[in-house]
Amino acid sequence: MRGECVTPQPISKLSMADADRIRTDIGELDRVLGGGMVPGSAVLIGGDPGIGKSTLLLQAMGKFAQAGRRVLYVTGEESMRQIRLRGERLGALSDNLLIYSETSVEKIIEAVEKIKPEAMVIDSVQTVCTMRLESSPGSVSQVREASAELIGCAKRHEIPVFLVGHVTKDGAIAGPKVLEHMVDTVLYFEGERGHVFRILRAVKNRFGSVMEIGVFEMKESGLSEVHNPSEIFLAERPVGASGSAVVSSLEGTRTILVEMQSLVCPTLFGVPRRTVAGVDYNKVVLLAAVLEKKASMALANHDIFIKVAGGIKLDEPAIDLGILASITSNFLDRPIEPSTVIFGEVGLAGEVRAINQVEPRVKEAQKLGFKRCILPKDNLKGLKKTGDIRLEGVSMIKEAIDKFFE
Ligand code: TYD
Ligand code: MG
């Protein structure tokens, strides 16, 4: 891996062979990693407590161990008994999966040298500490130093290491920001409390795309992969209800269709509220202002509640038109024809702007039996028409609003 060339080399002479990927056999995890684990790489996984970080890693490492590879799973948080019970539930038992309840970096490195595992997990970086520093575990300097030593150890032994990181109240990985620079890949495990869906998202990846997401469902027997997220996210859609609109969001190499729901009601007193779950608050405020000004909708004296069904978070310009459709539909109390998918970016002048990757979005809609797409007119150019889906291009929101309720 690194250090293979000690003198500067011409770029044209560098080897193009992809570093050997090691698959975990959990397809959704492998995809988010960019095709599997890379030997010598460090992966940081952050997420709220109880979201399922330990579950995911124990499950992945259990499979890896069952395939005959030796794994070292270091836990500084849970008792051996807890891990054993969880391992049993997850079907992750294997003689090759070695659990080590230890927080001293020196002892962990010693164990790696003795055991020579083919992968390693540190659960979590906030619990480990190195003797070289006097500060307590979890402090900024300890997390940085201890992680640096463990990452160095993984690189020397050319094994992948997963570091579990706690997150702070505002959702960032606790400890030094530099931790994110030290690792090759940063993944976040997200999901709403009370929802069974979990999204694994890459926010940094030296070995793959950062747009990629993995979708899981938390079950009695652990996390199960969701191969067709659109179907799941649309499963409970109230067909024919006003305020419900299906949007298309591109997540890495996959397009997913998701239901957006709005509730718009008169403000009883004071400032109108905008309560938002799953999309950016400011985006909703902006779209409401565009509707007010460009489509003469009196939203300034209405509360707006918006939610993405299924607890997934969306962050893409292409969902603008769908959010707008959902608000309009509930405000006018007119349902959108249920076999319609809506996508497009909305500008401040009320124009509907072209978005990227239209073809996969149309294909996904078609696959799931949708009959009509409302999309930016500029995207129609050069778009190959396939099958019997109706593509209706719009260039201004007023025109789009007429189409929503046709
Ligand atoms: P955990 O992996 O301990 O979370 P983290 O390491 O991110 O803090 O997640 C535990 C949660 O998942 C816990 O609330 C129970 C639930 N769970 C299941 O629903 N099914 C299972 O098979 C397991 C192991 C956990
Ligand atoms: Mg845990």
Q: Are residues 104 and 135 in the same domain?
A: yes
What is the DSSP code (8-state) at residue 67? T
What pLDDT, in 10s, does the model give residues 117-129? 999 999 999 999 9
220 Cβ below 6 A of ligand 1? yes
Residue 174 has pLDDT above 80, yes or no: no
Residue 46 has pLDDT above 80, yes or no: yes
Is 5 part of a structural domain of the chain?
no
Residue with CA at minimum distance from ligand 1 atom 15: 50
| pLDDT at res. 43 | 96
Q: Are residues 278 and 334 in the same domain?
A: yes
222 Cβ below 6 A of ligand 1? yes
Residue 1 has pLDDT above 90, yes or no: no
| pLDDT at res. 96 | 96
Ligand nearest to C-alpha 58 = 1
> Which residue has better confidence, 397 or 177?
397
Distance between Cα 166 and ligand 2 center (Å): 9
| pLDDT at res. 283 | 96
Q: Across 220-357, where does the E strand assignment appear?
A: 222-225, 244-251, 254-266, 274-277, 302-308, 340-342, 345-346, 352-353
**144: domain CATH number?**
3.40.50.300
Is 153 part of a structural domain of the chain?
yes
Contact between 160 and 154 under an 8 Å Cβ cutoff? The reply is yes
Q: Are residues 201 and 275 in the same domain?
A: no
Residue 17 has pLDDT above 70, yes or no: no
**336: domain CATH number?**
3.30.230.10
Is 1 part of a structural domain of the chain?
no
Q: Are residues 213 and 319 in the same domain?
A: no
Q: What is the amino acid identity at position 327?
A: I
Q: What is the amino acid identity at position 272?
A: P
Instruction: Report the distance separating Cα 229 and Cα 367, nearest Å.
Output: 13
pLDDT mean over 19-42: 90
Q: Mutation test of ligand 1: which of 45, 55, 59, 217 has the most ligand atoms closer than 8 Å to its C-beta? A: 55
pLDDT mean over 162-186: 84
Q: Are residues 213 and 244 in the same domain?
A: no
- Judged on CB neighbours under 10 Å (0-12, 13-18, 19+), 22 is buried
Q: Mutation test of ligand 1: which of 218, 221, 223 has the most ligand atoms closer than 8 Å to its C-beta? A: 218
Give the range of the structural domain holding residue 247, as residue numbers without chain letter: 232-404
119 DSSP β-pair partners: 71
| pLDDT at res. 108 | 97
Ligand nearest to C-alpha 198 = 1
Return the exposure string of 235-256: e unless at least 16 CB atoms fall within 10 Å of the residue's CB, then b: eebeeeebbbbbbbbbbbebbb
Ligand nearest to C-alpha 60 = 1
Number of domains in the chain: 2
Return the exposure string of 292-306: e unless at least 16 CB atoms fall within 10 Å of the residue's CB, then b: eebbebebeebbbbb
Ligand 1 atom, smallest distance to 90 CA: 22
193 Cβ below 6 A of ligand 1? no
pLDDT mean over 202-228: 89
Instruction: Report the distance separating Cα 152 and Cα 154, nearest Å.
Output: 5
Q: Are residues 191 and 296 in the same domain?
A: no
Instruction: Report the distance separating Cα 364 and Cα 254, nearest Å.
Output: 9
Distance between Cα 154 and ligand 1 center (Å): 27
pLDDT confidence bin for 18, thresholds 50/70/90: low
> Which residue has better confidence, 208 or 155?
155
Tally of CB atoms within 10 A around 152:
14
| pLDDT at res. 16 | 63
Distance between Cα 222 and ligand 1 center (Å): 7
Structure tokens at 197: 């869906």
Q: Are residues 206 and 139 in the same domain?
A: yes
Distance between Cα 337 and ligand 2 center (Å): 44
Q: Are residues 266 and 326 in the same domain?
A: yes
Residue with CA at minimum distance from ligand 1 atom 2: 52
Q: Helix 53-66 and helix 80-90: axis angle, to 10°?
A: 70
Contact between 259 and 298 under an 8 Å Cβ cutoff? The reply is no
What is the DSSP code (8-state) at residue 337? P
Q: Are residues 239 and 223 in the same domain?
A: no
| pLDDT at res. 177 | 77
167 Cβ below 6 A of ligand 1? no
Structure tokens at 299: 């939203």
pLDDT confidence bin for 167, thresholds 50/70/90: confident
What pLDDT, in 10s, does the model give residues 329-359? 999 999 999 999 999 999 999 999 999 999 9
100 DSSP β-pair partners: 74
pLDDT confidence bin for 62, thresholds 50/70/90: very high
| pLDDT at res. 190 | 87
pLDDT mean over 13-37: 85
Distance between Cα 46 and ligand 2 center (Å): 10
Tally of CB atoms within 10 A around 386:
10
Quote the percentage of the chain above a pLDDT of 90.
70
84 Cβ below 6 A of ligand 1? no
Residue 234 has pLDDT above 60, yes or no: yes
Cα-Cα-Cα-Cα torsion 402, 341, 346, 325, nearest 10 degrees, comes to 50
Quote the percentage of the chain above a pLDDT of 70.
97
Phi, psi of 31 (to 5 degrees): -65, -45
| Predicted structure pTM score | 0.83
Q: Are residues 105 and 186 in the same domain?
A: yes
Ligand nearest to C-alpha 57 = 1
Q: What is the amino acid identity at position 151?
A: I
pLDDT mean over 45-69: 94
Task: Look up tokens 């179907």; give the residue.
Answer: 231
| pLDDT at res. 367 | 86
Ligand 1 atom, smallest distance to 47 CA: 7
Q: Are residues 43 and 16 in the same domain?
A: yes
pLDDT mean over 313-317: 91
Structure tokens at 43: 């992966």
Mean pLDDT of the chain: 91
Residue with CA at minimum distance from ligand 1 atom 22: 222
Residue with CA at minimum distance from ligand 1 atom 17: 222
What 3-state class would DSSP assign to 212? Answer: coil
Enclosing H/E stretch for 322 = helix 320-332
> Which residue has better confidence, 369 or 397?
397
Residue with CA at minimum distance from ligand 1 atom 21: 222
Is 2 part of a structural domain of the chain?
no
| pLDDT at res. 3 | 46
pLDDT confidence bin for 2, thresholds 50/70/90: very low
Residue 4 has pLDDT above 70, yes or no: no
Instruction: Report the distance separating Cα 236 and Cα 175, nearest Å.
Output: 39
Residue 263 has pLDDT above 60, yes or no: yes
What 3-state class would DSSP assign to 198? Answer: strand
Is 6 part of a structural domain of the chain?
no
What pLDDT, in 10s, does the model give residues 213-225? 899 999 999 999 9
Residue 139 has pLDDT above 90, yes or no: no
Distance between Cα 353 and ligand 2 center (Å): 43
